[in-house]
Amino acid sequence: MNNDQIAKTLEQLADLLEFTGSNPFRLRAYRNGAWVIRDLPQAVESLIESESDLTTLDGIGKGVAEKCHELVRSGKLSQMDEILETVPKTVLDLLNVPGLGPKKAATLYNELHIENLDMLKAACEANQVQTLPKFGAKTEQAILEGIAIAAASNERILWASADKLVARLREHMDGCPAITRLEFAGSYRRGKETVGDLDLLVDSRDASAVMEHFGNFDEISSVIAAGETKMSVRLENEFQVDLRVVPAESFGAALQYFTGSKDHNVQVRGRAKRIGLRINEWGVFKTDVDGQPIEDANQQPSIAGKTEEEVYQVLGLPWFEPELREARKEFELAESQSLPDLITREDMQGDLHMHTVATDGKNTIEEMVAGARERRLKYIAITDHSKRVTMANGLNSERLLAQWKAIDDFNTATDDDFLVLKGIECDILENGEMDLPDDVLAQADWVVASLHYGQKQPRDQITNRILGAIANPYVSMIAHPTGRLINKRKPYDVDMDAVFQAAAEHGKLLELNSNPRRLDLHDAHLIAAKKHGIPIVINTDAHKVAGLDDIRFGIKQARRGYLTAVDVANARSWKELKSLIGR
């Protein structure tokens, strides 16, 4: 089993144990262990094979280590099997409903015998849930609204999770000598924040060898369909992967076709039809005046199809970056020869949102600096939480000023040009005030304003809190502006048009948070922010050194939002960036 599978199993075990009222300390150990395992650079399976002691890893105790050994040895946990003899596994789907934790899910199961999302929806629509203690009509309505999010989490996985799966599939398929070229298409290639399945295209003259090798991938739980050149499988996590083996002369056409999007391809085919051509996954073909093939489709030669570039070229179009293929305005921009030169990771010069051991981070300032240097950044901002975030040991004014003094001392002692900025992630309180006084914020290089509490307030109240922070003369940027967690929590109700207008008026920046569970702002908001001329800051919100690598998820999202290096504030030097901020 790979690390993701082990971590997910431990989390499910913890959920089931909490559901059945088990010891909370044991639950915490399993969840903490899952967190550690998911981020390990080494494979747990390899560590066990080399007889390494897992308990030497910070956060892995004896119980978690034993469970890891059992999973690697047998692929399952006997304790989980015992629980599932009395509780249906579908109750885990209930836990994906925002705000519905294991205790409330257990109440629904024990009192109303609700076992799955369909039963939960029916109970809410019949007003049965609100009759339970500690639920009520508002809770029932919130559950009903959250069922769609829970259902989506069963059907689509985060792009980052799909990317890990892609890496494992690539590694497996690299062992097949019959493969000449391999590409993943679909929504994964377009960089959508969630992915419903994977399309795998392979160029090979020996389809049977490719199919046999693919079928030996150890995460396959069942084969849905298999033919001479196509195979669809379901993995252990219920995710579907479709393999197609195509000839070299059609590979570009197939890659273009299966990358999509559907709406993009409709426009491509429409353009082809207008100039007497027909396009499909096998290539580009000439047609007569009625749009019919000139000769038998099985014999007619393709005039293009080996590469995507030549498919687009015969239509008089440039090659489109996959992230742009959503039929929004890419064809209009192509006609005017103004397709954007999209942002890349190499463009990034700084990261302006991260945490240290002073609050809820895992590494020191010095360690975060070392990690940023390794990633060739030129500056970072240390932005630990303010005091309102008590669960993260948020900083009061005294502790914050002491941290800033340490940062000043660090910069003075540093020989090179790398710069550490004195920052803070300051909460916007429920009453609209900032969590720290202005005379403290005035001493910062960089102030991130964020909203963590009171997220269910009415639209006007939420919006006014954010607008007040934008108007504060010492605030630099609004972090994760909508507060959403993909497949977990809806964005709070905020008037984003008013936020865009205020940010443009006051010269404040907006964040694209690269955490793969956030990706906040989403692509449509990024396009709108660009229209308003608001520079975007792509940050990691890293809580440990490894989290600095999350920048690539933000870059992928930024590309879907048409952002170039000019549109991204921290693709500039700190000196240039400072001039953008209305502080």
Q: Which burial class, exposed, middle or buried, applies to 231 when counting CB atoms under 10 A from its CB (0-12, 13-18, 19+)?
A: buried
CA-CA-CA-CA dihedral for 565, 569, 575, 581, to nearest 10: 150
Q: What is residue 145's predicted lDDT score, i.e. its pLDDT?
A: 85
pLDDT of residue 322: 98
Q: How far is CA 149 from the centre of its chain?
A: 15
* CATH 3.30.460.10-classified regions of the chain: 157-246
Q: What is the CA angle 267-272-277, rounded to 5?
A: 155
CA separation, residue 512 to residues 221, 353, 393, 509 (Å): 37, 10, 25, 10
pLDDT (average), residues 97-118: 88
Give the residue from 252, 345, 268 showing the smallest Cα distance to 302: 252
* Mean pLDDT on 10-38: 85
CATH number for 93-155 (one of 1.10.150.20, 3.40.50.150, 1.10.3660.10, 3.40.630.30): it is 1.10.150.20
pLDDT digits (tens, 9 = 90+) for 180-221: 999 999 999 999 999 999 999 999 999 999 999 999 999 999
User: Average pLDDT over the chain, rounded to whole?
Assistant: 92
Nearest to 2 by CA among 65, 71, 62: 71
Q: How confident is the model at residue 292 (pLDDT cuts 50, 70, 90)?
A: low
Please give the average per-residue pLDDT across 23-35, as a whole number. 84
pTM of the model: 0.87
End-to-end CA distance of the chain: 51
Is 488 or 498 the better-scoring residue by pLDDT? 498
* Residue 554 or 57, more confident: 554
Q: Where are the beta strands (DSSP E) in 132-229?
A: 157-158, 181-184, 194-195, 198-203, 220-226
Report angle CA 545, 547, 548 to the nearest 5 degrees.
75
Quick check: 525 and 518 in contact, CB under 8 A? no
Q: Which residues of 506-534 are buried (b: 16+ CB within 10 A; e: fewer)?
A: bebbbbbbbbbbbbbbbbebbbbbbeeeb
Per residue in 490-504, pLDDT tens?
899 999 999 999 999
From-to residues of CATH 3.20.20.140 in the chain: 345-578
Nearest to 470, CA basis, from 492, 450, 494, 493: 450
For 338-384, the three-class secondary structure string (H helix, E strand, C coil) is: CCCCECCHHHCCEECCECCCCCCCCCCHHHHHHHHHHCCCCEEEECC
Q: Among positive and negative, which fits the CA dihedral 278, 327, 485, 105? A: negative
Residue 297: per-residue pLDDT: 46
Q: For the chain, what percent of residues have pLDDT higher than 90?
A: 75
State the pLDDT at residue 451: 96
pLDDT bucket at 288, cuts 50 / 70 / 90 = low
pLDDT of 293 above 60? no
Which pLDDT score is estimated for 527?
A: 97
Residue of 442 and 50 predicted with greater confidence: 442
Joined tokens for residue 363? 């590494």
* 1-87: CATH number: 1.10.150.110
Q: Where in the chain is the domain with CATH 1.10.150.20?
A: 93-155
Q: Residue range 90-105: average pLDDT?
A: 84
Q: What's the whole-number mean pLDDT along residues 459-474?
A: 97
Distance CA(126)–CA(35), nearest Å, equals 38
Burial status of residue 128 (CB atoms within 10 A of its CB: 0-12, 13-18, 19 or more): middle
Give the residues across from 568 on adjacent strands. Answer: 536
Phi and psi at residue 180, to the nearest 5°: -90, -40
Checking if the pLDDT of 344 tops 70, the result is yes
Strand partners, 269: none
CATH number (2.40.50.140, 3.30.210.10, 1.10.3720.10, 3.40.50.2300) of 251-335 reads: 3.30.210.10
For CATH 3.30.210.10, list the domain ranges present in the chain: 251-335
Q: How far apart are CA 97 and CA 106, in angstroms?
A: 13
Mean pLDDT is lowest, of 292-306, 366-380, 509-523, for: 292-306
Q: What is the pLDDT of residues 555-579, one digit of tens each?
A: 999 999 999 999 999 999 999 999 9
pLDDT digits (tens, 9 = 90+) for 415-431: 788 999 999 999 999 99
The four Cα atoms 552, 554, 555, 556 give a dihedral, to 10 degrees, of 90
Q: What CATH number does the domain located at 157-246 have?
A: 3.30.460.10
The amino acid sitting at 128 is Q
Question: Using CA atoms, how far apart are residues 409 and 405, in angstroms rounded to an integer?
Answer: 6
How large is the average pLDDT for residues 421-442?
Answer: 97
Instruction: Pull the structure tokens for residue 90.
Output: 């579908």
**What fold is seen in the domain 345-578?**
TIM Barrel (3.20.20)
Partners of residue 181 on adjacent β-strands: 203
Residues 419, 410: Cα–Cα separation, whole Å = 9
User: What letter does residue 542 receive in the DSSP assignment?
Assistant: B
